[in-house]
């Protein structure tokens, strides 16, 4: 549509109708706008599409189309009602000042896609006291309905694709998370300390599934699979999921992830579960993650959840992983029914060999730091004093020790004396502990001295936590 043609059809009637409607009781904004546009543009076809599934402005902002605001002639009313909102940076330390986003309540645009032009009205259609869900429609006025529909298909396809993002269900709806995607792309199997057999089994379990569609069809079995990762917190369940997500995203045919944090929804948990599996079936083949499965599948939603997993609808191409710190809290119909979750992987507290491997992981991370002495002997020494620790606790011991050493380097103050895994006197800067001849050559290493101190502090906190739990159980 030529600009001169657009000029011919510019008018104020729809704008006046919208602002008049917005200052009074609203019954059906969509009907009012459609009626006003039909009257204002009698020679153009009207095509209406909800904006939540077809983001025409985002489609244009990505470079696939363009648009300009159309101004009203000789009218005291504004031609658009657009809010500017400040979006803070995801991380202040990145030095990014943030940016501006826009929230369109009413706008009249000239929209161009390829060699096709049309007039586009975007209108917020909330009526009465309705606050959720928001209803924002796009009203396309054109001389070529077929081209307008082709635009809707192209923009709709783009809107429902992931662009370096992960689908996350949180707060009652699906949202695209670029932040989680970039976090996942930093995850690596090198940071996952597991028995080689178990790590290889997990990786092969996933890759063989997505490569074996034909085999499943030939055997006439549903092409779906489910795993449960369980065990005490802090031992690699989440990092294993992220490392697998990274692996799947970097395949020749990338496998998208749908990450579920809760079953919240303004329409209730059953609606949330339905929406979750609906997108999974639409996106398949895909990777569907349920974080803290035991807290998600309560008695109230258990039947509905199980029906979605193995009901009448096809779940072909969906690989489900649920994580839990409390396998005993899961319903046996979930934890002990292979047709739903086919295999359980235990992530226990690390044994001595795994603790040594984790210390070597930290040794490699600190290899470029000339201020930290970290000989091979120190790996076994640290592993020896961290028995019964999870990976998360060992990590905390390393982080806390390194922070103390860094601070000591600035204020020239270090704790003196030998250290070990016993509890120290909180009021004394010097704390003496048991040593052994094979560790005598490590006693002057700052990292060894401070790691032992941090391990002692953590053991004391674990003891207090355990005592509190026992007291709570007795009180019941």
For 326-343, write each residue's pLDDT tens digit.
Answer: 999 988 888 887 778 889
- Has this prediction a pTM greater than 0.75? yes
Whether 144 and 43 map to the same domain: the answer is yes
Q: Indicate if the pLDDT at residue 195 is higher than 70.
A: yes
Whether 200 and 342 map to the same domain: the answer is yes
Q: For residues 358 and 193, is the Cβ–Cβ distance under 8 A?
A: yes
Q: Indicate if the pLDDT at residue 168 is higher than 70.
A: yes
pLDDT interval class at 371 (50, 70, 90): confident
Q: Is residue 399 part of a domain?
A: yes
Q: Indicate if the pLDDT at residue 288 is higher than 90.
A: yes
Comparing 1-10, 11-20, 357-366, 451-460, which segment has the lowest mean pLDDT? 1-10
Whether 333 and 246 map to the same domain: the answer is yes
Q: Is residue 475 part of a domain?
A: no
pLDDT the model gives residue 92:
67
Q: Is residue 397 part of a domain?
A: yes
Q: Indicate if the pLDDT at residue 432 is higher than 70.
A: no
| Residue 74 tokens, joined | 């000789």
Q: Which of 321, 346, 371 is the last residue of a domain?
A: 346
CATH code, 234: 3.40.50.300
Q: Indicate if the pLDDT at residue 362 is higher than 90.
A: yes
More confident residue, 411 or 370: 370
Whether 321 and 440 map to the same domain: the answer is no
Total structural domains within the chain: 3
Q: Is residue 174 part of a domain?
A: yes
Whether 410 and 441 map to the same domain: the answer is yes
Q: Is residue 117 part of a domain?
A: yes
Q: Is residue 476 part of a domain?
A: no
Whether 320 and 359 map to the same domain: the answer is no
Whether 367 and 311 map to the same domain: the answer is no
Q: Which of 128, 159, 190 is the last residue of a domain?
A: 159
Q: Which of 130, 159, 188 is the last residue of a domain?
A: 159
Whether 66 and 147 map to the same domain: the answer is yes
More confident residue, 409 or 174: 174
Q: Find the domain containing 268 and state its range.
A: 166-346
Q: Is residue 357 part of a domain?
A: yes
Q: Indicate if the pLDDT at residue 424 is higher than 80.
A: no
């Amino acid at each position: 549509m030529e600009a001169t043609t657009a000029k011919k059809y510019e008018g104020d009637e729809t704008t006046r109708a919208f602002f008049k409607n917005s200052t009074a009781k609203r019954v059906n904004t969509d009907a009012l706008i459609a009626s006003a546009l039909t009257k204002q543009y009698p020679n153009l076809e009207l095509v209406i599409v909800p904006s939540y599934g077809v983001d025409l402005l985002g489609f244009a902002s990505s470079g696939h189309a363009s648009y300009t605001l159309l101004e009203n002639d000789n009218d005291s009313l504004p031609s658009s009602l657009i809010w500017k909102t400040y979006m803070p940076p995801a991380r202040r330390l990145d030095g990014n000042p943030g940016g501006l986003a826009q929230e369109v309540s009413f706008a009249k645009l000239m929209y161009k896609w390829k060699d096709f032009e049309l007039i586009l009205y975007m209108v917020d259609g909330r009526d009465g006291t309705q606050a959720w869900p928001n209803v924002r429609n796009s009203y396309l006025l054109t001389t070529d309905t077929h081209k307008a529909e082709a635009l809707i298909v192209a923009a709709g396809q783009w809107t429902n694709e992931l662009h370096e993002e992960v689908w996350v269900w949180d707060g009652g709806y699906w949202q695209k998370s670029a932040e989680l995607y970039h976090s996942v792309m930093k995850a690596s199997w090198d940071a996952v300390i597991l028995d080689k057999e178990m790590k290889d089994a997990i990786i092969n379990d996933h890759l063989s599934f997505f490569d074996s569609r034909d085999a499943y069809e030939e055997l006439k079995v549903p092409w779906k699979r489910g795993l449960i990762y369980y065990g005490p917190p802090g031992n690699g369940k989440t990092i294993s999921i992220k490392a697998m997500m990274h692996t799947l995203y970097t395949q020749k045919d990338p496998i998208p992830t749908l990450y579920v944090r809760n079953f919240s929804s303004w329409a209730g948990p059953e609606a949330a579960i339905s929406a979750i599996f609906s997108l999974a079936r639409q996106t398949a083949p895909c990777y569907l993650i349920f974080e803290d499965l035991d807290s998600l599948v309560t008695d109230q939603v258990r039947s509905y959840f199980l029906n979605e997993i193995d009901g009448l609808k096809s779940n072909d191409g969906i690989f489900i992983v649920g994580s839990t710190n409390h396998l005993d809290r899961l319903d046996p119909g979930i934890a002990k029914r292979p047709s739903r979750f086919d295999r359980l992987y235990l992530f226990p507290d690390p044994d001595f060999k795994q603790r040594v491997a984790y210390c070597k992981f930290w040794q490699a991370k600190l290899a470029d730091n000339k201020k930290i002495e970290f000989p091979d002997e120190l790996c076994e020494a640290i592993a020896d004093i961290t028995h019964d620790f999870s990976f998360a606790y060992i990590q905390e011991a390393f982080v806390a020790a390194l922070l103390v050493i860094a601070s000591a380097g600035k204020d020239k103050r270090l704790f003196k004396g030998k250290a070990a895994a016993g509890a120290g006197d909180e009021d004394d800067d010097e704390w003496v502990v048991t040593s052994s001849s094979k560790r005598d050559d490590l006693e002057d290493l700052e990292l060894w001295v401070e790691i032992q101190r941090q391990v002692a502090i953590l053991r004391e906190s674990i003891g207090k936590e355990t005592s509190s739990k026992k007291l709570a159980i007795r009180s019941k």
